[in-house]
Amino acid sequence: MTYHFEDPAAEFVLAVERVFGEHPRVLDGSRAVLVGEVKLQLEAGERELWLIETHGPLEHRVAMVEVYDDVEDALREAKEKLRELG
């Protein structure tokens, strides 16, 4: 019997690099990264990707993207939302 295990958070940092084209600063044990002044954070069992603006110690949640099968798809949607808000 073969088991197949998927962990979206394990692929998260590498996927951020591919989608955003830069190396993010890893926060909170690979479940959150900082890209520029935007924090991308996986929550709710890796089913929600939150986009959080950071201003020093202050944070403001600006949007949430649902993660379905592929975290990279959610990151592409998040990047588009950041462009729209931007």
DSSP state at residue 81: H
The C-alpha R_g of the chain, in whole angstroms, comes to 13
pLDDT value for 18:
94
Residues near 23 by beta carbon (within 8 Å), at least 6 away in sequence = 17
69: confidence class by pLDDT, cuts 50, 70, 90: confident
Domain locations in the chain as residue ranges: 8-85
pLDDT digits over 10-45, tens only? 688 899 999 999 999 998 777 899 998 899 999 877
**β-strand pairing of 25-27 with 58-66:** unpaired
pLDDT digits over 39-68, tens only? 999 987 778 999 999 888 888 999 999 999
DSSP state at residue 2: -
